[in-house]
Structure 1
Amino acid sequence: MRIAIVVLGLLVAFFGIVFTLQGFGVIVSDSPMTNTTTWSILGPIIAVVGIVLAVGASRRRG
């Protein structure tokens, strides 16, 4: 179960990074998320939540 939570955390962090890059207009230029302040702010928050989830699950005792 711990490995699944780590993988889920890494997946959430990946999507947070993608949302951030789309919010800044780096990845896709014709997306509704492109150059949007909302995703520029929410993306890093989502990425940090994913990292905290992954690190927390990996450090938990089994």
Structure 2
Amino acid sequence: MRGWFRLTLGLLAVVLGALWTVQGLGYATDSVMTGHRIWAVIGPVVVLIGLVALYFGMRARGHRD
């Protein structure tokens, strides 16, 4: 079960970061965050954090003791 938490957290961060980026750029409508540029900056940062978590989760899953 090693790495599952990081993988799950990383995937969630990538999805949320992508959603926030799309909303910040104004492509998603009917949201409070639509058109606010701060979300277009925060989103990619969260995606990068998620990718790092995915990387370390995959590494933890690959190490079999």
RMSD between aligned alpha carbons?
1.3
Partner of 1:42: 42
For residues 26-53 of structure 1, give each alpha carbon's deviation from its aligned partner in whole angstroms, at most 9, with x where no partner exists.
Answer: 12x2211001110000000001100110
Q: C-alpha distance in 1, partners of 2:15/2:32?
A: 19
Q: C-alpha distance in 2, partners of 1:59/1:4?
A: 12
Q: C-alpha distance in 1, partners of 2:53/2:6?
A: 7
Gaps of at least 5 residues in structure 1 are none
Greater alpha carbon shift after TM alignment, 41-50 vs 4-13: 4-13
* Runs of 4+ residues deviating >3 angstroms: none
Bigger radius of gyration among the two: 2
TM-score, normalization by structure 1:
0.86
Q: What secondary structure sits across from 2:35 in the alignment?
A: coil
Partner of 1:54: 54
Partner of 2:22: 21
Deviation at 1:22, TM superposition (A): 0.5
How many residue pairs get aligned? The number is 61
For residues 1-30 of structure 1, give each alpha carbon's deviation from its aligned partner in whole angstroms, at most 9, with x where no partner exists.
Answer: 412211211111110000000001112x22
